[in-house]
Amino acid sequence: MQAEALVEWASLEVLAVPPSTDLPPASGDLTANQGYRLPNPGLDSDFVSTVFAGDPGLFVRLSDCEYGWNPTHEDLNEIDLHLEPGQTISSGVFTNGWDEHGTAVAGVSVGLVNEYGVSGMAPGVEFHTYPEWTDEEGFRRVTCITNAIANSNAGDVVLLEMQTVGLGGGYGPAELDLGVWTAVKVGTDAGVVVVGAAGNGNQNLDSATYASYLARGDSGAILVGAGSANTNHDKLSFSTYGARVDVQAWGTAVTTTGYGTVQYNGSDEDQWYTNGFNGTSSASSLTAPSCAVIQAVQLQYFGTPLTSPEMRDLLIATGWAQGTGGHIGPAVNIRAALESLLSGTAAPAFEAAGDVAIRAEPNPFRDRTRIRFDAAPSRDVAVDVFDVAGRRVRALPTAAGRPDRETTWDGRDEAGLLLAPGVYFLRVRDGEDSRTGRVVLSR
């Protein structure tokens, strides 16, 4: 058809794809129970949509390393969980019910956005799964971590949903094992963001018992402790703690897929949910998708990824202060992290060129920003707005005859349509002089 002289172009169009379907009997909508998606005491993942436009899967992938998952769960069955090639999850995982753990993690991260069940914190992020117990290789913790890291690019996120018994007799982070620590260090040195559970053994990593572990130095991973699901952000009694634990998130009352404390069809695990996912497992499962969406915004706006230590520093600097208990760090606050990240694009960084200077306030902005520029009163000044592709989207009105002139922009194009959140460029021209700079539109 394309070869016909009268045909300008032709393409194949797929048949309509039906929306995700709730398995019978109908499951309830549990999103109202996902308080962790909301502002304090939650992590405020819902804020991401106000500053990010597009598919986060184009920017970052999230890999989960643990025992197993249920890919046929009704809130996950239209998502490719990208099981590690060549590996079959051991039947022992399902016999022990350990796949429920991974199912819960997947629901928190990428659960389908629909009319039932839960909605993931990072919907659209490319989710990969690396099992640590398989038919082909048996127990393979270090191998699955190494492969997850090797298949990641700089900026991608690898989650270690695992713990190990420390020298103090209780559970601590998996990186207490030298093999895991070495794999993690290689990954973070290569730019991969690694998030790990601190462990549920109430171990004090600052004690002399763990001196040999601390002597290795910083692996670069973000270790996550279990905190309360309220604005106190207290350490929960079981969480491992110490200066090496970086941040905290909810270690209790997390609603997600799996386990079956909330059931809609009895023994059908594909319709099982829980309102009690907990421990440093739930805390790290909340933190990893937080890192993924923050990284997606970072890449969309600036083009270069944050390293694991940089992501860690950002979360620490912008989190809610910890309450009582041994040190597990501040509670992750996605909104504050993104606002801090985007404040680096503030217009006062614009410099003068010739007789022209420009600044926009506020920046970032939601509804309207005031753009002020200095130029000789006798000159006509043109102020244009361009998108990141270099297309002019708006010519702003200006007024001559004032030494300190200004105009405003409402985030709309020439047709009056609201533009997508993101970075835009202002160009001020005064005769032969011109200057450009960035302004950030959020919603």
Per-residue H/E/C for 142-200:
HHHHHHHHHCCCCCCEEEECCEEECCCCCEEEHHHCHHHHHHHHHHHHCCCEEEEECCC
- Nearest residue to 45 via CA among 34, 55, 53: 34
Share of the chain above pLDDT 90, in %: 68
Residues 288/292/295/299 CA torsion (nearest 10 deg): 160
Q: Are 332 and 91 in contact (CB under 8 A)?
A: no
**Percent helix, strand and coil across the chain, each to the nearest 5:** 25, 25, 45
Distance, in Å, from the CA atom of 193 to the CA atom of 292, rounded to the nearest integer, reads: 9
Residue pLDDT, tens place only, 378-428:
567 788 898 876 788 999 987 655 555 788 999 999 999 999 888 788 888
pLDDT digits (tens, 9 = 90+) for 224-240: 999 999 999 999 999 99
In the predicted structure, residue 148 carries a pLDDT above the cut 80: yes
CA 107 to each of CA 37, 282, 346: distance values in angstroms, whole numbers, following the listed order: 13, 11, 36
Predicted model pTM: 0.77
Structural domains in the chain, sorted by start: 31-342 (3.40.50.200), 346-441 (2.60.40.1930)
Buried b / exposed e over 376-401, threshold 16 CB at 10 Å, is: eeeeebebbbebeeeeebbebebeee
What's the confidence (pLDDT) of residue 381? Answer: 77
Helices then strands (H, E): number in the chain? 8, 19
